[in-house]
Amino acid sequence: MKEVLIRPFYRGVRGEIRAPRDKSLSHRGAMVGALSQGVTVIDGFSFCADCLSTLSGLESWGVEIIREEEKERITVKSEGLGKLREPEDVINAGNSGTTMRLLAGIATGIEGLTIFTGDESLRQRPMKRVIEPLRLTGAEVGGRKRDSFPPFFVRGRDRVKAFSYHLPVPSAQVKSALIFAALRGEGTSFIKEPLPSRDHTENLLRYLGVNIEKKGGVIEIEPPSSISASYLSLPGDLSSASFLIALATLLPQSHLLIRDVGINPTRAGFLACLREMGGNFEIIGEREEFGEWRGDIEVRFSHLRGIEIGRNLIPLVIDEIPIISVLAAQAEGTTVISGAEELRVKETDRLKAIAQGLRGLGVEIEERDDGLLIQGPAVFQGGKVNSYGDHRIAMSLVIAGIVGKKDLVVEDIDCIKISYPDFFSDLEKIGYGEWEIKER
């Protein structure tokens, strides 16, 4: 297992960097490629571990995928909807909830048995939220511990029943699983969301010509007879870029330009929070390409103040709460995060992990059932903290270490490759190289 020693840095981070590619969109790009007939070329694909799990899953269904990592490109060859075939073995989604849940939706429309498993963390994450609604399609679906956890199976059929479903939790993964299932429906399906969550699946399918509309919080999906393969170029990942944005915000004299970041409003709650905290950044060159908004983000150091983040905003900052907590601990005043109990069922219990990590650095932080109360500004102390095998906790703690006052060891950092394999080399590119990785 690897750990990293982080030495405090007193100069700013500077320069220009291309954002790491978007994980959420890479999963979806590969999946729609597999459901399209012909050859789909995808540029700007993220070769992070989670997206590689998606590629192997799709290959188990007979899809051909060529990987060109140096070009950040994949080529997906498929006969498309209705032509995927029963896998010969179980699909192992590794650490990736998105792989498992979205592929489960696709599996309902594949004749035969698909079985999903994952690593130790994923096998403890809730799956009833997809297993139960996917049964509305007429597919047989069942899992361990009364349908609660992986491994689980889907016995799909070539065409499925059309359905209506009201999501109890605002989850883009569950919504996307159902959208993919609806593509093989015998009629129009309807999905209602309690609050908006990231809409990448909808945007991508609409871009490829699928009739998918949102009317008053209800998504209507008309199953296409086929989807034609197309070229896609994906933007950078705001969730990964948020670590660099946070670092530039917290280190005096910083001035950073992060190029080509996805700024889809259903993903960009981090920027809204940072703005409210007093962050000094600008979005330049906003443009819509391939169904998604992107732009360059120019960030400078600024003094921050505490804010309140309530339930309605949580789906839009679902993955950024750990790094927002680091910002909050450096901000003047109190930050209250509520309605965030979903964080307890991520790669680890993120409310607990961030509270423990920041407390270890000397922050006054209260863990609540549904959130956190963080008192700032703190002077981060050194010592040893643990990521609990969660990539976003690991990177948040590394950022805290860089802006801290003493050497910090972050344990269990192999997980960073889950979403951002180039994290440390990107830190070097913007001027911070005072880390030392050790094998323990």
Residue among 403, 383, 93, 131 nearest 253 (CA): 403
Residue 171 makes contact with ligand S3P by CB under 6 A: yes
Question: Which stretch in 74-82, 168-176, 357-365, 410-418 sits in contact with ligand S3P by CB under 6 A?
Answer: 168-176
96 binds ligand S3P (CB under 6 A): no
CB of 101 to ligand S3P, least distance (A): 7
Q: Is 319 an annotated catalytic residue? A: yes
173 binds ligand S3P (CB under 6 A): yes
Residue number with CB closer to ligand S3P (176 or 396): 176
Closest CA to 166 of 158, 175, 176, 157: 175
The answer to the question of residue 95 lying near ligand S3P (CB under 6 A) is no
Using alpha carbons, select from 49, 140, 139 the residue that is nearest to residue 92.
49
CB of 161 or CB of 344, closer to ligand S3P: 344
* Catalytically annotated residue among 237, 260, 319, 426: 319
The reply on whether position 99 binds ligand S3P by CB under 6 A is no
Minimum separation from the CB atom of position 171 to ligand S3P (A): 4
Position 98 contacts ligand S3P (CB under 6 A)? yes
> What residues between 181 and 210 interact with ligand S3P by CB under 6 A?
197-198
In the complex, the smallest distance separating the C-beta of residue 27 from ligand S3P, rounded to whole angstroms, is: 6
Pick one of 319, 320, 390, 412: the residue that binds ligand S3P (CB under 6 A): 319
Is 121 a binding residue for ligand S3P by CB under 6 A? The answer is no
Span near ligand S3P by CB under 6 A; candidates 31-39, 172-180, 249-257, 399-407: 172-180
- 311, with CB counted inside 10 A (0-12, 13-18, 19+), is middle
Q: What is the distance between the alpha carbons of residues 198 and 262, in angstroms, rounded to a whole number? A: 12
78 versus 173: smaller Cβ distance to ligand S3P: 173
Nearer to ligand S3P, 3 or 342 (CB): 342
Nearer to ligand S3P, 198 or 294 (CB): 198
Q: Interface with ligand S3P by CB under 6 A: which range of 166-174, 285-293, 367-375, 398-406?
A: 166-174
Binding status of residue 46 toward ligand S3P by CB under 6 A = no
Q: Using CB under 6 A, which of the segments 140-148, 170-178, 256-264, 382-390 binds ligand S3P?
A: 170-178
Give the catalytic positions in this structure: 319
Please give the residue ranges that form the binding site for ligand S3P (CB under 6 A).
24, 98, 171-173, 176, 197-198, 318-319, 342
